[in-house]
Structure 1
């Protein structure tokens, strides 16, 4: 289910990137960046490259500036996917870092956030992380809203079970969640009037574009920023 595109354009990880800091949340090292005293939290669930990706942290800072307490946990316990490691190809790596474990860890992070007095939580998932966010969104117990960016592993059956407002941002060039599949997602969601939904396919971009864009490429940055604007509008609308 995961192919070369899932791992294309790997970021140069930087543990000191971003305006926030790293602390333990729910037992996981997490990048935390926040608006002081905010009771509204956003959980960002990374792709396979983890929480030290500079573009991901930059987005976290942008969401925090809009008034949210933003947490980006290290769901991979210090071992993000490393494409240069021939002994740990993606299929082997995924056996140790599956989305089921990610879902269980995410629930612990949410429990910790609730313990801090947070009143509402939204979640955004990228590639691998989108599957974790979908699992969270199958009940209204954990999050108020979900955003999926170029999802991996998400199925029609998953979408049928969604209970919270959901936004799906997809790429025109995506072998993991091609436009045809996203259109099916849209049809399933349209038949669920009790769940507000938004599905958008971005032209001329590939899987991973929202966080793995080249900062020197103006068109790539523009498409990523458009997606960031869409996801922030969704969070502002439903996490309150």
Structure 2
């Protein structure tokens, strides 16, 4: 898998964007938003461009305003993918989702230590692989995957928490025919609730990498955010 669409349309990173604050959390620099006294938290796991992406922080602020404590960790430790610095395959060797899964565990423990009793996780592109791994074990109580990459059909066999999958129609990383296989795998386990939706006319990365001047793109991104938030409200509130 080349990761071509993963690397397209990179956002302009801005460490000062958003209304939240950046602090160390669970051993990682993290963007934190939402009420500190909430008992429900969300971990947003970025695509390959990392936690400084302005649209990702905008999502964090908005779901934080809905009452969730939101943490967006820097799983890349200051080294998000930059196309002219290193080939994607080389970058992935040092920043695999398997490492993201391990790094997520201390973040989850840090949330629990602060009185959080319900935790959800949403993964965008690269982050979706991390979230589907978390969903197989008792780390989180609800999961959302958005334009996932590096996820395979077998990954859904062991999912143990309610999982929502939001995919793009025009996506060579996760094409509709593969999404249908994911849906069948999820439906094979009737004990775990799932929701699958394909966004017509949207491309990989549409939820966090769009132009604010493109009204249609903004509307599609907002729809994905609402679907994500509704899922977490249903299972964590």
Provide TM-score, normalisation by structure 1.
0.97
Residue 115 of structure 2: aligned partner: 117
State the distance in 1 between where 2:181 and 2:236 align.
26
Whether the aligned pair in 2 keeps the contact of 1:125 and 1:149 (CA below 8 Å) is yes
State the distance in 2 between where 1:176 and 1:73 align.
24
State the distance in 1 between where 2:213 and 2:170 align.
20
Residue 225 of structure 1: aligned partner: 222
Residue 74 of structure 2: aligned partner: 74
Cα RMSD between the aligned structures? 0.7
Whether the aligned pair in 2 keeps the contact of 1:2 and 1:152 (CA below 8 Å) is no
Does 1:22 pair with 2:22? yes
State the distance in 1 between where 2:34 and 2:24 align.
15
Q: CA deviation at 1:84?
A: 2.2
What is the count of residue pairs matched by the alignment? Answer: 237
Q: CA deviation at 1:3?
A: 2.6
Q: CA deviation at 1:37?
A: 1.0
State the distance in 2 between where 1:35 and 1:221 align.
26
Provide TM-score, normalisation by structure 2.
0.98
Does 1:146 pair with 2:143? yes
Residue 183 of structure 1: aligned partner: 180
Q: Write out per-residue CA displacement over residues 71-121 of structure 1, whole angstroms, 9 at most, x where no aligned residue.
A: 000000001000122xx1110000010111100000110011111110100
List alignment gaps of at least 5 residues for structure 2: none
Which consecutive segments of 4 or more residues in structure 1 shift more than 4 A?
none
Residue 5 of structure 1: aligned partner: 5
Aligned-partner SS, 1:142: coil
Q: CA deviation at 1:36?
A: 3.9
Residue 134 of structure 2: aligned partner: 136
Q: Write out per-residue CA displacement over residues 207-236 of structure 1, whole angstroms, 9 at most, x where no aligned residue.
A: 000001111100000000000000000000
